[in-house]
Structure formats: structure tokens, C-alpha cells
Structure 1
């Protein structure tokens, strides 16, 4: 039997689970307090399909009949016992159901629970997740486990992410209706002002980039990101093996191609830029007034950057980027484009940083450019121990080998999925 660690995510097939046949999730608890287990069926935007698709003790079957609460015990118990069993038939769910979230809630802090186990069964037990009192903080709700589609494949994620407020707060978070009460705080929402056209901004301020703006707009609209407010960062490998990429103008071209995303996302229409070798260096903001020739001009040009010996140290610049935005407030999501030509050797350090920063609203898009030896960067999807999959990787032999349209498609492929899940978990709040 497989044990699912917190933050682990994997295809169900990795556990010999056939997603075309029904599966059962059994929740076994030892708890002196009353607690509830609910299942939310969500669409691609992370919202409840409708209120009938919240499956719990008072509504034990979804309208489609493919999500069923087949067993439920509500009372506290001094001994271990099965509180809930859900039967799910993933292959027969409607295509607009993108994920199932299993949520724990109570009227008092969850850290009073002695133990909780989730078993995934299909004829026999295939996987298990275990939690103790120390795994639950003072929150009254926790998003425990998610079954979700990715590229047409059903996967499982052991999220175990605490959530402020109880069940009502989670229902509201997923877009469901909650009966009004005296404790409900009425929110006021200001009208959202549409952003100006990206093409128009570029035409006015950087006409050289208009064609790039048109191609970026297609990818942004396809993913409904054109109104997103976010910060954009660019991290550039400046180790010795990258010299050829700098001399041929490839790195400046990266600056040109990422800038339309920064102009679209960021209210300041600029991105923050770092370079790294052994040491990281913050190069400042890149905007529409200084992007042209930035690589050859910033801080005396790329040859003069204060990076120490021109060897790889990815983990150190990742820490620097994280600390920069932590000081800045982390009030909006952050998209980091991280360029490397390989030679990655500190797999353990990178893994540690990526695990620690997964709880922050920062998404890391790693791009391998004309190199090799990418190490852990090529195995990011299978990296365990994170509360969320917060990064992606793709590689290019040469920037000229890929069209600008295809480059934007690759750069934005995983970001919307992360954004949706991060909002579900409360990591991204805007």
C-alpha cells in the first residue's frame, strides 16, 4: 500500500487505480469533537458546479449519482472508527466537473482531533494519507484531498491545507450559497475597470513589440488572464556557459518576449529582473522605457554584473527572489520566468527552496535554454512534499526553434492551473 505524504500529487494510475471503475474513499478518525467531511465538485474555475454538488451528510448523493456518501457517523469517538465513506465514479462525471475536493470542518479548532486517516480503495486499499493533531492548526476547516483532472488524466493531491473559518467559509470560497446570519460580514465590491488593450499600450510606448503583444494576447485571452493583476519576475542564468546566449542576443530576446506579459499583468507595466552565477544580483525593473538594450546596458552590461565566479547557484537566487517579494507584501500572485542552460548540481537545495515557498503566491516557470544537465528541474511535476505544484519546466535548444506563439503557450501552460488551485487553497487571495 502507498502512503501519500502531505503535498504529494500523482496520477491515480501510479497506485494501480483504474479511473474508469468506481473508487471508495474511507475516512477513519479518532476524535473527541464533532467534525464533518464534505465533498465539493468544482468546475475549471475552482467553483462549485451548483449547490447540489456539495455532497455531505444532509445531501448524500450528487444529482448525477456518481458521487455518493455511502456511510456516515457524526458522533465523536474515543476509539478509531470510520466516519465517512464516499463512492466516486470518475469516468462517468460530466466533463464540466474538473475536480473533487474533500474537506474537513468543525465548530472548534481541528487540532483537537487525535488522528485521521484517508484510505483510497478499489477492491483493496491502494493508498493512504495520515494526519495527527499536530497537522491541524487552530483553523476550523482543512482542504484535505483533491482528485483532479490534468491533461485528461485523473490525479490525486494530498493538500492538507488549513482554511480560516468553518464549513460556511469554505462553501462561500467555492462560490456556494450560505444562509445569511448575524455573523456574516457583507462585502462591498468596487466595479472592475477593464485594462487597456495590450496592443494599444505597446503601440503607444514600444511599437517594436506590437507583434509580440498580439501573439501574447491570444494566449492570455485563451486562458482568461487578460484582466489578471500579478507581478512578473525574470531570473537569468549568467554562468560562464551562458556567454554564447548573451553574445548572440538570445537573452535580450527573452527580455523582449516576457515584457508583454509584464505589461499585461503588472499595474506598473514592468518586471523585476535578477541575474545569477554563484551570487545573485538584482538588476532592477525592466519597463517600456528601458527594455531595449537592457542586457548590454544595465549595471554596465552583462559582462560586468557582480555575480562572483560564473558558476551555477540556483537555490541562492531563488531565495533572493522570494525574500524580495516577501518584503514587498505578497499581495498579488507572482509569475517568475527562470532561464537556465543547465549545469544544475544543487538538487537538494532547489528542492528545499521549492518546498518551502510552495505556500507563497509565487509560480516558477523554468525554461532550459540551449543546455543540458537540468537536474531536478526536469522532475518538478513529481516533486513531493509541497502543498501545491508551484512550478513547471520546458526546454529549448535554441530560441529560434520555437515560434513566438508556441513560446507563449508553453510559458502559460501550467500557470492558470496553479492559479486556480492556489485560490482554492487560499494561497492567492486576489
Structure 2
């Protein structure tokens, strides 16, 4: 049997669960207070399909009949006992159902609960998540477990995300109707709203007027943005460049400058300032300033005296330090919009523990990290981020290239934006981005 840690995300088949057969979730609790356990069926935007798709003690079956509350005990108990059992049949859910969220709520703070276990069964028990009093803060609700589609595969996330305001606030957060006005109640860790600007000038038009050399790149970026409905999103964009000694060839051959050129159309599309923030790192990180349409040409050879003169200390790898620097920069900036970070590395990653710690803490912030391995090896933890445990949300993605010229511009944008939309959706569901 698999034990699920808080923040763990994994495909169901890694737990020996067949998503074509029914699955049972059993909630066992020891609690002196009354508590409710509900299941919300959400669409791709993270909203409740409709009010009939909130399955709980007073509405035990979804309209499609594939989500059922088969057992429920409402009274508190001094001993451990099963409070709720849900049966779900994922393969028969409608295509409009993108995820199921299992939520715990009460009228008083959850930290009075002594223990709560979630067992996932399919003929035999396949996995278990365990929560103790220390896992529950003063919030009156917690988003416990999520089963969701990603890349056509059903996955499970042990979220355990606190939420202020109780059940009514969660219903409202997911777009359902509530009888009372809870408009001043917000998720416990809400940090930043995702702004939509429908008056944006088309990307190609901006490039044609201000940077005609990038028009072709803008056309290809626009295709990927439109496919993912991101063309109206407002976000910050950052670029982090490995400048360790092993990257010298990439700098000399102009590959790093080409990365700048290819990322800039996304920055122009997302950012109101039509610019991106840039860092370089070796042992030490250095903020190189903004890259915009007026200074992108030759930026790598000109900024701060050019890449050979950057103040990075010995040219050895220290990814964790620059990750901390980037995170602190945007925290001071206010994090009023999501941040998309493109992180270039040629490998030699050694501080797996430090990177894990920074990425785990950063998962609570509206920041998405897209790592790209460029012409190297030894990427360490960067290659294992999708299943890294201990995070409230999967906030990272990784792909690698032997050479930037090995991939078309169209394919590069597809890879760069593959995971970002699903992160946005999940971050909205969790109140990290609203």
C-alpha cells in the first residue's frame, strides 16, 4: 500500500489503480466536532459543473450517477470510525468533468480534529493519506484530495490546502450558489489575481511596429497562445540563465541570445511593460535588468559589460541561490499577477535538497517555473519535478534539448507552454491565483 504525503502528486496507475474501474475513497476520522466531507466535480476552468455536482450528505449522487456518497455518519465520535465513503467511476464521467475535489469543512476550526485518514480502494487498499491535528490550522475548511486529468491521464494530488470561511466559502469559490453573502471571505492562501486585459493590442502588430525582426517569432508564439487561450493573460515573465563555465560554448555561438529572442514575444504578450526580467547565475546570482523591445538585440554581449564580465563569482552551479533571489524579487514586487519563469541550465545540478526546499516553498506563490535543459546532462532533481512530493501544487516542468537548433520555433513554444495552462487552472482552484 502507498502512503501519500501532503503535496504528493502521482498518476493513478503508479498506485496500481485502474481508472476504467470504480474507485472507493473511505474517510476515517476521530473528531469531537461535527464535520462535513463533500465532493465537487469541476470543469477545466476549476468551476463547479452545476450545483447538482456537489455530492454530499444531502445530495448523495451526481446527476450522471458516477459519483456517489455510499456511506455517511454525521455525528462526532470519541473513537475512530468511517465517516464517509465515496464511489467514483472516472471512465464514465462526462468529458466536461476535469477534476474531483474532496473537501473537509466544519463550523469551527479544524484543528480540533484528532485524526483523519483517506483510504483509496479498488478491490484492495491501494493508498492512504493520514492527517493529524497539526495538519489542520484555524481554517474551517480544507481541500483534502484532488483527482484530476492531466495530459489525458487521471492523476491524484494530496493537496491538504486550508481555506477560510467553511463550506459556503468553498462553494462560492468553485462558482456555486450560496444563500448568504460571503463575498469578503477569501481562500487561506490567496495571493494574486490573474488579470485579463481584453483590450490588448495583437502581438504581431506590436512586433511589426517596434521589433520587425521578431515578427515571425510572434506569429508562431501567437498560435500557441491562442491554442491555450492565453493571449489575453496578464503575467510577469522572467528568464534565468545558467552562466557556469560549461555554458561558454552556448554563449559564444549565440544560443543564449536566441533564447532571449524567442522568449521576448511571450513577455510582450503577457506583460503590460512588454519586457521580461533577467537573471544569470553561477555560484552567485545577478539581476541583469529588464529586456524589452528597445534593448533585446545584443543583450547578452552588452548587458553589464557582456556575459564574460557578469559578477557571478566562480563559474560553478548554484541553482538554489538564484531560485531564492528570483522568488524574493517577486515577493517584494507584490505578486499581483502570476509569474512565468524560463530557467535555462546545461546540467551539473548537485544541490537537489536546496532546490527541493525552494520549489516547495515557492509552490505557495503564483509562480510557474519552466526548466529547459540545454546541451548538457546531470540535471538532477530538475528532471523529477512532476512527481516531487511535499508541494501544494506542481509548479514546475522540464524538457531538454541537445541544441536549440534541433527544435523548430513552433515546437519550442509548444514545449514552453505545455504545463503552464494546467498550472494556472489548478492554482486558481487552490486560491493561489484567483
Q: What is the alpha-carbon distance in structure 2 between the residues aligned to residue 193 and residue 13 of structure 1?
A: 36
Q: Does 1:424 align with 2:429?
A: yes
TM-score, normalised to structure 2's length? 0.95
Alpha-carbon displacement from aligned partner over 1:210-265 (angstroms, at most 9, x marks no partner): 11111111111111111111111100000111111111111011001111111111
SS of the counterpart of 2:195?
A: coil
Residues 15/193 of structure 1: CA separation in 2 closer, same or farther (3 Å cut):
closer
Alpha-carbon displacement from aligned partner over 1:260-286 (angstroms, at most 9, x marks no partner): 111111111111100000110000011
Residues 262/182 of structure 1: CA separation in 2 closer, same or farther (3 Å cut):
closer
Residues 33/185 of structure 1: CA separation in 2 closer, same or farther (3 Å cut):
closer
Q: CA deviation at 1:185?
A: 11
TM-score, normalised to structure 1's length? 0.96
Q: What is the alpha-carbon distance in structure 2 between the residues aligned to residue 353 and residue 260 of structure 1?
A: 28
Q: CA deviation at 1:191?
A: 15
Q: What is the alpha-carbon distance in structure 2 between the residues aligned to residue 142 and residue 189 of structure 1?
A: 17
SS of the counterpart of 1:256?
A: helix
Query: Which runs of structure 1 show a deviation greater than 4 angstroms over 4 or more consecutive aligned residues?
Result: 179-197
Alpha-carbon displacement from aligned partner over 1:78-110 (angstroms, at most 9, x marks no partner): 111111100001111111111100001111111
Q: What is the alpha-carbon distance in structure 2 between the residues aligned to residue 374 and residue 148 of structure 1?
A: 28
Q: What is the alpha-carbon distance in structure 1 between the residues aligned to residue 212 and residue 108 of structure 2?
A: 58
**8 A contact 2:192–2:336 mirrored in 1:** no
Q: What is the alpha-carbon distance in structure 1 between the residues aligned to residue 271 and residue 135 of structure 2?
A: 36
SS of the counterpart of 2:160?
A: strand
Residues 94/193 of structure 1: CA separation in 2 closer, same or farther (3 Å cut):
closer
Q: CA deviation at 1:405?
A: 0.7
**8 A contact 2:191–2:432 mirrored in 1:** no
Q: CA deviation at 1:193?
A: 10
Gaps of 5+ in 2: none
Q: What is the alpha-carbon distance in structure 2 between the residues aligned to residue 399 and residue 142 of structure 1?
A: 44
Q: CA deviation at 1:27?
A: 0.5
Q: What is the alpha-carbon distance in structure 1 between the residues aligned to residue 191 and residue 344 of structure 2?
A: 39
Residues 404/186 of structure 1: CA separation in 2 closer, same or farther (3 Å cut):
closer
Gaps of 5+ in 1: none
**8 A contact 2:164–2:187 mirrored in 1:** no
Residues 308/381 of structure 1: CA separation in 2 closer, same or farther (3 Å cut):
same
Aligned residues: 429
Q: What is the alpha-carbon distance in structure 1 between the residues aligned to residue 186 and residue 390 of structure 2?
A: 35
Alpha-carbon displacement from aligned partner over 1:110-159 (angstroms, at most 9, x marks no partner): 11111111000111111110111111111111100001111221111000
**8 A contact 2:191–2:365 mirrored in 1:** no
SS of the counterpart of 1:204?
A: helix
Residues 205/97 of structure 1: CA separation in 2 closer, same or farther (3 Å cut):
same
Alpha-carbon displacement from aligned partner over 1:306-341 (angstroms, at most 9, x marks no partner): 001111111110011011111111121111000001
